[in-house]
């Protein structure tokens, strides 16, 4: 009798339930500042799905032609090494729901410290009320989430030059911790062409900023954006489509800068991630 009940229960569960979507994560052991590419492969269309990670919830908003749902999940530079948990929640169109928790090992990474001296007039620019406006405009551009994925494969270096400040380094200005460097600084002569790192749409092109200097933000789709600061010239306008490698502006030292260089940054869902990670993506 017991055996029959057991078999019946098993059949009932199998008959009623849709299988959990297959979840894949690449890379499976990321470092702080990298991105985990999560893919959901469900049996049927999902009504909605989300991933809770590092204190935030990220929605799966796009469905590829292959029926998979992709998500570029940022591992912020300040993530502590060790075991973290990502929980994926889903709801099928027929109302069935489920969740799966996946352990993610974050590897250790030391970004180092950089000490800077700024003159009092340069330091003042940081607290000028004008910088609130430019920060707001840049954040709004980085907030865009375009459903279409415009980038294909690894990003290109936007300019040839020497890396003067790497990504993630802690900046101490005039002896005090100020902020973590959210991009990479590439030193190059004024006027050197700056190229789009990947295909995208110009989300912001503004030559009026006091702190960031002449600024471009490119929207690469699915929550991924790239940022170019301190330009001497902007050669694109907002809304324009650009191709990987296309000249979008020129290296300069506008805004607060100690010499001609490009500050180049990549953001995933508003989180600054290592641009070099994007130049050698862990898949093809
Ligand atoms: Zn910089």
The Cα 133–Cα 131 span in angstroms is 5
How many other CB atoms are there within 10 angstroms of residue 122's CB atom? Answer: 16
Task: Kindly give the distance from the C-alpha atom of residue 19 to the centroid of ligand 1, in angstroms, as a whole number.
Answer: 47
Task: Kindly give the distance from the C-alpha atom of residue 115 to the centroid of ligand 1, in angstroms, as a whole number.
Answer: 13
pLDDT over 60 (residue 284): no
Task: Kindly give the distance from the C-alpha atom of residue 183 to the centroid of ligand 1, in angstroms, as a whole number.
Answer: 6
The Cα 155–Cα 232 span in angstroms is 23
Task: Kindly give the distance from the C-alpha atom of residue 175 to the centroid of ligand 1, in angstroms, as a whole number.
Answer: 18
Diameter of the chain measured on Cα atoms: 86
- Per-residue pLDDT, 13: 43
- Per-residue pLDDT, 279: 96
Tens digit of pLDDT for each residue in 184-237? 999 999 999 999 999 999 999 999 999 999 999 999 999 999 999 999 999 999
- 54 Cβ neighbours under 8 A, 6+ residues apart: 75, 76, 79, 84
Task: Kindly give the distance from the C-alpha atom of residue 230 to the centroid of ligand 1, in angstroms, as a whole number.
Answer: 9
pLDDT over 50 (residue 3): no
The overall average pLDDT reported for the chain is 91
Tens digit of pLDDT for each residue in 104-131? 999 999 999 988 888 887 777 666 777 8
CA angle, 17 then 21 then 27, to 5° = 160
* Domains of the chain with bracketed CATH: 2-106 (2.60.40.2470), 113-278 (2.70.70.10)
**Percentage of residues in the chain having pLDDT higher than 90:** 76
Task: Kindly give the distance from the C-alpha atom of residue 211 to the centroid of ligand 1, in angstroms, as a whole number.
Answer: 11
Give residue 107's Cα distance to chain centre: 18
Instruction: Report the pLDDT averaged over residues 179-183.
Output: 93
b/e per residue 65-78 (b: at least 16 CB within 10 A): eeebbbbbbbbbbe
**Percentage of residues in the chain having pLDDT higher than 70:** 93
Could you tell me the pLDDT band of residue 16, with boundaries at 50, 70 and 90?
A: low
Task: Kindly give the distance from the C-alpha atom of residue 216 to the centroid of ligand 1, in angstroms, as a whole number.
Answer: 14
Kindly state the tokens that stand for 19.
Answer: 């299988």
pTM of structure: 0.90
pLDDT over 90 (residue 41): yes
pLDDT over 90 (residue 178): no
């Amino acid at each position: 009798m017991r055996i029959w009940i057991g078999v019946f229960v098993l059949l009932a569960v199998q008959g009623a339930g849709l299988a959990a979507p297959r979840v894949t994560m690449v890379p499976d052991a990321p470092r702080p500042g990298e991105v985990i590419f999560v893919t959901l492969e469900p049996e049927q269309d999902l009504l909605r799905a989300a991933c809770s990670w590092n204190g935030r919830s990220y929605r799966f908003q796009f469905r590829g032609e292959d029926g998979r749902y992709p998500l570029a999940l940022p591992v912020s530079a300040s993530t502590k090494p060790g075991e973290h948990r990502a929980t994926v929640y889903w709801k099928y169109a027929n109302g069935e729901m489920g969740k799966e928790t996946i352990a993610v090992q974050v590897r250790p990474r030391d970004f180092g410290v950089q000490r800077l001296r700024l003159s009092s007039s340069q330091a003042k620019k940081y607290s000028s009320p004008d910088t609130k406006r430019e920060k707001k405009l840049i954040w709004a551009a980085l907030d865009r989430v375009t459903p279409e994925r415009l980038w294909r494969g690894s990003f290109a270096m936007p300019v040839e030059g020497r890396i003067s400040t790497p990504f993630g380094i802690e900046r101490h200005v005039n002896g005090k911790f100020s902020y973590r460097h959210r991009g990479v600084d590439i030193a190059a002569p004024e006027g050197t062409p700056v190229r789009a790192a990947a295909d995208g749409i110009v989300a912001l092109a503004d030559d009026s900023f006091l702190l960031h200097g002449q600024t471009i933000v490119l929207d690469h789709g699915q929550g991924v954006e790239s940022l170019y600061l301190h330009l001497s010239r902007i050669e694109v306008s907002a809304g324009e489509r650009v191709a990987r490698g296309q000249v979008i502006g020129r290296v300069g030292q506008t805004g607060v800068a100690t010499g001609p260089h490009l500050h180049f940054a990549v953001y995933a869902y508003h989180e600054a991630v290592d641009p070099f990670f994007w130049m050698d993506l862990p898949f093809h």
